[in-house]
Chain A
């Protein structure tokens, strides 16, 4: 937090920040280096996050959440990724991509059935969009959902799914009409649960970064998903996926801001201790330049992220602002982590210090939840007017403190 109190954040936000910072320092920091080395996911961290209410932070109290606002979601993401990306990823997929999608598009009955246990952290949720041959080109997906009576039969394979081996609830996108033109109109969304027959999952190892996080694949072989688990109408899946991404990308951007801060803080500490030519390297001009660039990225990133958060609070569409924040902050976190390694010299190249992990962790977010290149194209398309907001059947609700803290 660099902005003075009252500009972007109120006292409640500051208290949330302090709490999550303490939580991450105590519950994650002491063991993250070892987990990352072993490429090991620690379910105890998610359990602690659930216990603390983080998994339902910006979900209304009556749906099992904590009733905080969207800016608080950003703060939690930022402070978790300050320590490690793997913890922030949980917020992105469980809250941003899945739970907020149910809050926006789910029926009241679906909110009770899925959102309540997710917000309480009793069920862990993930988001299944990407396929081996369908990443940015979502329309190319091959997964199908064939209607048979009161069920849909799902078939297909999803890849690069965060929490694949951990999740209980999978928000899956599949084609109910593979012949639809344009193809995105044939996509529908379903809440598949792990207990359904035909669901198998597995994990990847050998990732460049986020090695303490669980990432894997989800395979669906004739999975019978009840009609009442369809989120939205048939053919609304693409719009739902984009809505979810508006929230997932926001948490990614906020997390990347945390990573910029972590890189900067580590660099400032090290540059004041390490001496060359008889003085701390902090006094060398080219080191100062790298520090200044990180400061610039941090302060600019903070404005972009929390502008998007403020717009969510107001109930304003924010796809453009969120994608801009995501593009800027993820690129900036990669550059900042690289500079942090440079400042640390050979020490930064070893895992004795945290900055090499920051660098490895930062690259993923430049690729996932919309590549940097896609975000760039979107900005131009909005500017040229090629892309415009169209009204949605269900909008993400604006934050209303009274409504969101109402018990029932």
Chain B
């Protein structure tokens, strides 16, 4: 069995407020780049599927040559191999274009049974790429998976959560799965993994190799702006007794028309 884990390289969330719209427009973001935190859960699950079912794993990321920090992080965690997809039309395109390039890379890799990915990216926030990948591949899609119970006889059994409930589903392979954070506790890269990853030469798949010199796009960015920073105030409610504190809190909430 082979598992492909789709990984995005995103700015460190602590540094996101520093990123300017100009940097995003030019694609030259001056922040520490890390593996998208949601994709860490997918990478961890790929490693665990290796331990449980002997699956081999490959991490796939879309990016310019040299943008390999996130892939190396996945390798250092224990994912078996990595692949960088350098397709300019996808990088500069919309969600559909990204999905097109990633699906093509999965097909190029061959023999993939399961595609894993995080539920969204911390920068783009679309949460739609995996839907596009499943659509392009023509595979089944499972979203918000909290547990992969079993993979046997070409069928995956998984638990997924949805608003107000949890369900156990079965689905024939191949399948695209987006994972929720409840699925596991991602490990830190090991020192042995770091040694291996820092020396790894990550192969690059080009647009020519995938036949994706141009990808039609449906969405264009007309404008890009940063939301205004929200100003919040913290009030500490003090009082001699809990009752007094509670009464003051209720008064304050009433005054603010919260209740």
Q: Are A66 and B76 in contact (CB under 8 A)?
A: no
Q: Which residue of B lies closest to A66 (CB)?
A: B191
Shortest Cβ gap from B36 to chain A (Å): 14
> Residues of B contacting A67 with CB < 8 Å?
191-192, 195
B205 interface residue per 8 A CB criterion: no
State the CA gap A405–B190 with chains docked (Å): 14
A18–B198 contact, CB under 8 A?
Answer: no
Q: Establish whether residues B195 and A19, one from each chain, have CB atoms under 8 Å apart when the complex forms.
A: no
In Å, the complex CA distance between A23 and B188 comes to: 7
Q: Which residues in chain B, 172-202, are within 8 Å of chain A measured between CB atoms?
A: 188-192, 194-195, 197-199
Cβ contact within 8 Å between B188 and A15? no
Q: Do B194 and A53 touch (CB < 8 A)?
A: no
Tell me the nearest residue of chain B to A27, going by C-beta.
B188
In the complex, the answer to whether B76 meets A15 with C-beta atoms within 8 Å is yes
Q: Which of A11, A23, A72 has the most CB of B within 10 A?
A: A11
Q: A15-B72, A15-B76, A18-B34 are in contact. Are A10 and B192 (CB under 8 A)?
A: no
For window 1-20 of chain A, which residues contact chain B by CB distance below 8 Å? Answer: 10-12, 15-16, 18-19
Contact residue among A19, A52, A53 (Cβ-Cβ distance under 8 Å from B76): A19
Q: Are B198 and A12 in contact (CB under 8 A)?
A: yes
- Residues B198 and A15 in contact, CB atoms below 8 Å apart: yes
Query: How distant is the Cα of A67 from the Cα of B189 in the complex, in angstroms?
Result: 15
For the complex, give the distance between the alpha carbons of A16 and B190 in Å.
9
Which residues of B, 195-251, contact A by the 8 Å Cβ criterion? 195, 197-199
Tell me if A262 counts as interface (CB < 8 A to partner B).
no
Distance (whole angstroms) from the CB of B75 to the closest CB of chain A: 10
Contact partners of A11 in chain B: CB under 8 A: 72, 198
Q: Which residues of chain A from 137 to 188 have any CB-CB distance to chain B below 8 Å in the complex?
A: none
Q: What residue of chain B has the Cβ atom nearest to residue A54's Cβ?
A: B191
Q: A15-B76, A19-B76 given as contacts; is B188 within 8 A of A52 (CB)?
A: yes
Evaluate contact between A57 and B191: CB separation under 8 angstroms: yes
Query: Quick one: which of B76-90 are within 8 Å of A by CB?
Result: 76
Q: State whether the Cβ of A83 lies closer than 8 Å to any Cβ in chain B.
A: no
**Proximity string of chain A (65-101) to chain B, C-beta cutoff 8 Å, 1 when within and 0 when not:** 0111000100000000000000000000000000000
A46 to B189, alpha carbons, bound, how many Å?
18
Q: Enumerate chain A residues within 8 angstroms of B197, measured Cβ to Cβ.
A: 15
Q: Which residues of chain A from 97 to 124 have any CB-CB distance to chain B below 8 Å in the complex?
A: none
B190 and A15 within 8 A (CB): no
Residue A22 at the chain B interface, CB threshold 8 Å: yes
Question: Once the chains bind, are B188 and A22 in contact (CB under 8 Å)?
Answer: yes
Q: Is the interface of B mostly helix, strand, loop or mixed?
A: helix
The total of Cβ contacts below 8 Å across the A-B interface reads 38
Given known contacts A15-B72, A15-B76, A18-B34, A68 and B191 CB-to-CB distance under 8 angstroms = yes
Q: Are B191 and A16 in contact (CB under 8 A)?
A: yes
User: In whole angstroms, how far apart are the Cα atoms of A10 and B198 in the complex?
Assistant: 9
Give the complex CA separation of A224 and B63 in angstroms: 64
Chain A residue numbers with a CB within 8 Å of B76 are: 15, 19
User: Are B194 and A19 neighbours in the complex by a CB distance under 8 Å?
Assistant: yes
Residues of B within 8 A of A10 (CB): 198
Flag A181-210 by CB within 8 Å of B: 1 or 0 each: 000000000000000000000000000000
Is the Cβ of B189 less than 8 Å from the Cβ of A66? no
The minimal Cβ–Cβ distance linking A398 to chain B, given in whole angstroms, is: 18
* A11 to chain B: closest residue by CB: B198
- B199 contacts across to A, CB distance below 8 A: 12
A12 in contact with B188 given A18-B34, A19-B76 (CB within 8 Å)? no
Select A16's contact among B34, B73, B194, beta carbons within 8 Å: B194
Across the interface, name the chain B residue whose C-beta is closest to A58: B191
How many Å from the CB of B39 to the closest CB on chain A?
14
Cα distance A231–B211 when bound, in Å? 66
Give the nearest-CB partner of B197 in chain A: A15
Distance between A56 CB and nearest chain B CB, rounded to angstroms? 9
Query: Which chain A residue shows the least CB distance to B68?
Result: A11
Interface centre among B34, B188, B195, B198 (most CB of A within 10 A): B188
* Chain B residues positioned under 8 Å from A66 (CB to CB): 191-192
In the complex, the answer to whether A15 meets B192 with C-beta atoms within 8 Å is no
Chain A residue numbers with a CB within 8 Å of B192 are: 66-67
B195:A405 contact, CB within 8 angstroms: yes
Q: How far is the CA of A57 from the CA of B194 in the complex (A)?
A: 12
Complex Cα distance, B72 from A22, in Å, reads 15
Question: Given A15-B76, A52-B188, 6 more contacts at CB 8 Å?
Answer: A12-B195, A22-B188, A52-B190, A66-B192, A67-B195, A68-B191
User: What residues of chain A have their CB less than 8 Å away from a CB belonging to chain B?
Assistant: 10-12, 15-16, 18-19, 22-23, 52-53, 57, 66-68, 72, 405
Of the A-B pairs whose beta carbons lie under 8 Å apart in the complex, a sample of 25, sorted by A's number, is A10-B198, A11-B72, A11-B198, A12-B194, A12-B198, A15-B73, A15-B189, A15-B194, A15-B197, A15-B198, A16-B191, A18-B34, A18-B73, A19-B188, A19-B189, A19-B194, A22-B188, A52-B188, A52-B190, A53-B190, A53-B191, A57-B191, A66-B191, A67-B195, A405-B195
Listed from nearest, the 10 A-B pairs whose CB atoms lie closest are A66-B191, A12-B198, A11-B198, A15-B194, A19-B189, A53-B191, A19-B188, A23-B188, A68-B191, A15-B198
